[in-house]
């Protein structure tokens, strides 16, 4: 009888310790976005977000790349006018194995200035000439953007979304040349 009760206690403790290692499923967490990767260079930051905590990251999980947006430029074609144009050499992002759905460009003071959508494509590339001359903005007076040698500064956000709901974002600041009448 003593060996039977000792054996039952041992089995009970063994089962209790085994089930003690189980954790609450991630799907019971919050539905807020989670940053899974982030890079910062100077004032510019870009990040990849998972829409919620329901999807654990695994080797075979969907991927969305960083948005590549080299050479943001603000230029003034006519120095006698307070008109500048903001453009990029190109904008690019890719997803695997999902499809790219949309890429949105927003300027802090203006709002959404460009929206591009995709259809059954795993990558999206927007060349410099797709935005025409660029996004028309006021140049601003000398020092109005915080830099004493330049005009206004415009913060930008470029966001991309794939067919699985993953998003990627790239942030930065563009300084325009000053308008000096």
- Helix count and strand count (H, E) for the chain: 1, 12
136-149 pLDDT per residue, tens: 999 999 999 999 99
pTM for this prediction:
0.65
Name the DSSP letter for residue 54: T
**pLDDT at residue 90 in the model:** 92
**pLDDT at residue 109 in the model:** 84
Taking 50 as the pLDDT cut, the residues of the chain under it are: 21-29, 53, 57
**pLDDT at residue 75 in the model:** 96
Q: What 3-state class would DSSP assign to 3?
A: helix
How far apart are the C-alpha atoms of 54 and 63, rounded to whole Å? 15
- Rounded alpha-carbon distances, angstroms, from residue 112 to 1, 26, 53, 66, 115: 78, 34, 28, 20, 7
**pLDDT at residue 104 in the model:** 93
CB atoms within 10 A of CB 34: 14
User: Please, which residues bridge with residue 125 across strands?
Assistant: 92
Domains of the chain: 34-51+64-175 (2.60.40.10)
**pLDDT at residue 17 in the model:** 63
**pLDDT at residue 42 in the model:** 73
């Amino acid at each position: 009888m003593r060996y039977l009760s000792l054996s039952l206690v041992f089995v009970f403790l063994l089962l209790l310790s085994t089930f003690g290692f189980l954790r609450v499923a991630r799907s019971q967490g919050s539905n807020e976005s989670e940053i899974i990767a982030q890079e910062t260079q100077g004032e510019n930051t870009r990040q990849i977000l998972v829409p919620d905590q329901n999807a654990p990251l695994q080797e075979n999980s969907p991927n969305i790349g960083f948005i590549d947006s080299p050479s943001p430029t603000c230029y003034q074609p006519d120095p006698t006018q307070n008109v500048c144009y903001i453009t990029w050499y190109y904008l690019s992002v890719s997803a695997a194995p999902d499809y790219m759905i949309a890429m949105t460009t927003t300027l802090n003071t203006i709002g959404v200035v460009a929206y591009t959508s995709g259809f059954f494509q795993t990558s999206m590339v927007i060349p410099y000439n797709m935005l025409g001359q660029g996004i028309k903005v006021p140049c601003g007076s000398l020092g109005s953007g915080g830099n004493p040698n330049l005009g206004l500064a415009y913060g930008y956000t470029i966001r991309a979304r794939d067919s699985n709901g993953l998003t990627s974002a790239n942030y930065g600041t563009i300084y325009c040349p000053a308008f000096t009448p």
